[in-house]
Amino acid sequence: MRPRTGLIGVLLFMAGMMLSSPPAASAEDRPAWQYGLAFSYLTGDYGADENTDILYGAAVLKRFFPRGDVTATIPWLDVSGGGVTLIDGGAEPIAGATGGSGLGDIVLKGRYYAVQQSGPLPFIDLVASLKLPTASEAKGLGTGKQDFTLAAEFARVLPGNRWIVLGELGHTFVGDPSGYDASNRWLYNLGLACRTSPRTMLSGYLEGRTAVFAGNDDPLSLLLGGEFKLTPGLYLDTMVETGLNDGAPDLGVTIAIRKRI
């Protein structure tokens, strides 16, 4: 069984923290390709006097291989209120951002299935992602610089094959936007998932990362998600995010549809 972790928010669909179906004997559960659309709404004041609203849509294409997968995410953003920029899909408070709409940062991600669960060892995936600076820096849709993330994702299937413990630890090398001093950041999450039926998987987890800009809170959120198998190869994913401090959005809602072939 191979769950996959990794945001979402909407950013969740990009980061890949929704669970995927385990490998099995059928061709459906050993797909060659997956494509889909994700839509998110995030709102919060991020410690400022006014709220910033973010609408996010993305087209996602994934290619599966025997020991890994490669994903390309092409997003579109609308940021109203300004005051934030997006770094690897996460909103970061920053002075001078005016808001606007347009193409977001394209993200390329590769995952290697490094370790299969055996004895005391959990599933371990090694992940590398590259953010291409295709979003407008002036509008706060991106920093105008490349970012590179390395991460390890962990999953432990508990006896009975219903419950799964999930975790992730990663580090992002952040490119400095013009006129700002950005710090590299750590990211982490820890959660639990339950397969409530052959067609439904529910999950909840705590997601955090260190702030990129000095003086900002380290973002920390609680997320609840669901994966629903609609028909063979067709899945609906949902996610609700509640921010636990000013570094995170007050509320985030994500819905995604994906097809495996």
Residues 91-111 have pLDDT tens digits of 777 766 677 899 999 999 999
Q: What is the pLDDT of residue 245?
A: 93
Q: What is the pLDDT of residue 87?
A: 72
Q: What is the pLDDT of residue 95?
A: 64
Q: What is the pLDDT of residue 184?
A: 94
What is the rounded distance in angstroms from the CA atom of residue 110 to the CA atom of residue 7? 15
| Furthest-apart CA atoms within the chain: distance in Å | 54
Confidence of residue 23 (pLDDT cuts 50, 70, 90): very low
Residue 232 in 3-state DSSP?
coil
Pick the CATH number of 9-260 from 2.70.70.10, 2.60.40.3500, 2.40.160.40, 2.40.160.20: 2.40.160.40
Q: Which residue has the higher pLDDT, 20 or 51?
A: 51
Q: What is the pLDDT of residue 82?
A: 66
Q: What is the pLDDT of residue 26?
A: 47
What is the rounded distance in angstroms from the CA atom of residue 230 to the CA atom of residue 8? 21
Q: What is the pLDDT of residue 10?
A: 37
Q: What percent of the chain has pLDDT over 90?
A: 66
Is the confidence at residue 13, as pLDDT, over 50?
no
Q: What is the pLDDT of residue 12?
A: 39
What is the rounded distance in angstroms from the CA atom of residue 255 to the CA atom of residue 21? 18
What is the rounded distance in angstroms from the CA atom of residue 97 to the CA atom of residue 191? 33
What is the rounded distance in angstroms from the CA atom of residue 232 to the CA atom of residue 47? 44
Q: What is the pLDDT of residue 191?
A: 96
Which of 183, 182, 200, 201 has its CA nearest to residue 191? Answer: 201
- For the ranges 72-86, 211-225, 238-252, the lowest mean pLDDT is seen at 72-86
Q: What is the pLDDT of residues 115-150, one digit of tens each?
A: 999 999 999 999 999 999 998 887 778 888 999 999
Average pLDDT estimate for 157-186:
91
Is the confidence at residue 200, as pLDDT, over 80?
yes
Average pLDDT estimate for 35-57:
90
Q: Which residue has the higher pLDDT, 179 or 215?
A: 215
Q: What is the mean pLDDT of the chain?
A: 85
Ranges of each domain in the chain: 9-260
Confidence of residue 4 (pLDDT cuts 50, 70, 90): very low
